[in-house]
Amino acid sequence: MKLSKEWMLGLIFLGLFIIMAVCVPGFIDPYNLTSMLYQLPELGILSLGMMVVILTAGIDLSITYLAALSGVVMAYALTAGLPVPVAMIAGIIAALIGGLLNGFFVAFIGVSPILVTLGTMTLFKGIILLITKGNSVSGFPDSYSFIGNGDILGIPFPIIVFAVIALLAWYLLNKTVWGRSVYMAGNNPIATLFSGVNTKKVIMYVYLFSALMAAIAAIIMTSRYNSAKVDLGSSYQLQSIAVAVLGGTSISGGYGKVIGVIFGTAIFQVLSSGLNLLGVPGMVINILIGVVLIAVLLINFFTAKYKHNQLKKAT
């Protein structure tokens, strides 16, 4: 029986879940389980955006500031009395403009993604600070709070959004020409270009996709916290990279699966909420997340080495 990297991760998640359920009092309490389902989608959606960028051997350091920018725009639109859908569209447009900027510099000028997004991150942060003067914007209509806090037949609404987004991402990556081109561009950009794929366009859409994910995460976050400010979700910046990598995405591009990211997010969530219930302080959870990241990478390294040695012996 051979298990892929992703399903191995699924087993780790299951094991972790059972350990937490047995050892941590209150972990399988319905209240705790639903609250995890409310918290998890933000990081999950951002990580999906990050994964698609990493597939092309890129990285998007600006993703959380894109989310904050779009969140602030939505917040202003809402407090100005605009209807909820209009405010959401305004936020999405703000994020897409940011994504366009990232995509333009990466795809058309050819600057390395880490530098572009480093620059745009500072830029977006500055713009948000200029608009908000560092204050938080709050006071949204009641109907808006449904998105982050409501449920349909007992199922938290954010997790439904996450499920839809994950399915959409899976479909886009596996069943469309664009999706296949993303993997190809990550594996071998030159060969992809020579086989007639407009890699520039493919990469442009990758950054637009991550911007869209940032906007959707921003909608959930602003609704859940009932406010928006410059550091909206800023702790997810490096966490989303960690989740993508934990989920099996190759940081040098070309490989990564939606299901891996979902398991990666779930492992993060189970770890942090289980430890939280045990009264472990937040900083220690940070330490453990770092340890888990490095441990998973080391396991990957040693299993690859072991397989390599086995192959050598066989030949």
Partner 1 sequence: MTKLFQKKEFGIGLIVILLALILSVVNPVFFTAENILDVLKANSVLGILAVGMTLIIITGGIDVSVAAVTAAVTVVIGKLAVAMHGNSWSILAIFIVAPLVGACFGFVNGILIAKTKIPPIVTSLGTMSILSGITLYVTNGEYMNSSMLPASFIQFSNFKIAGVSILIIIFLLTVLITWFVMKYLAIGRSILSFGGNPVSAMRVGINLTKVQIFVYTYMGFLAGIAAIVQTAYTKGVDPNGFAGFELTVIAAVVLGGANILGGSGSMLGSFLGVLLLGIMQNGLILAKINTFWQEIIVGAIILLAVSYDMIKRKREERSLAKVEVEG
Q: Supply the Cα-derived Rg of the chain in whole angstroms.
A: 20
- Tokens coding 123: 């830029």
H/E element holding 155?
A: strand 155-156
Comparison of 130 and 311: residue with beta carbon closer to partner 1: 130
Candidates 102-110, 144-152, 165-173, 214-222 — which segment interacts with partner 1 by CB under 8 A?
A: 102-110
Is 309 one of the binding residues for partner 1 (CB under 8 A)? no
Could you tell me the smallest distance in angstroms from the CB atom of residue 47 to partner 1?
14
CB of 127 to partner 1, least distance (A): 6
Backbone angle region of 254, left / alpha / beta, with phi > 0 → left and psi within -120 to 50 → alpha: left
Looking at residues 118 to 157 of the shown chain, list those that interact with partner 1 (rule: CB under 8 A): 118-127, 129-130, 133-134
DSSP for residue 61: T
Closer CB to partner 1, 283 or 314, in the complex:
283
Pattern 2-41, partner 1, x by CB under 8 A: ----------------------------------------
- The total of other beta-carbon atoms located within 10 Å of residue 56's CB is 26
What does the chain come to in residues? 315
Listed residue (223, 114, 94) closest to 158, CA to CA: 223
Of residues 123 and 160, the one with the C-beta less far from partner 1: 123
Token digits for 13? Answer: 């998640």
Q: Which is nearer to partner 1, 14 or 114 (CB)?
A: 114
Binding positions for partner 1, 259-288, rule CB under 8 A: 281, 283-288
| Window 181-220: contact mask with partner 1 (x via CB under 8 A) | ----------------------------------------
Nearest by Cα to 261 from 160, 141, 156, 169? 169
66 or 87: CB nearest partner 1: 66
CA atoms of 214 and 44, how far apart (whole Å): 11
At closest approach, how far in Å is the CB of 135 from partner 1?
12
- Do residues 120 and 114 touch, judged by C-beta distance below 8 A? no
Confirm or reject binding of residue 55 to partner 1 (CB under 8 A): no
The alpha carbon of residue 273 and the mean position of all alpha carbons in its chain are separated, in whole angstroms, by: 18
Sort strands 155-156 and 151-152 into parallel, antiparallel or unpaired: antiparallel
> Does 110 participate in binding partner 1 (rule CB under 8 A)?
yes
**With binding defined as CB under 8 A, does residue 100 bind partner 1?**
no
Give the side-chain half-sphere CA count within 13 A for 313: 6
Contact set with partner 1 (CB under 8 A): 59, 61, 105, 109-112, 114-116, 118-127, 129-130, 133-134, 238, 241-242, 245, 251-252, 281, 283-291, 293-294, 297-298, 301
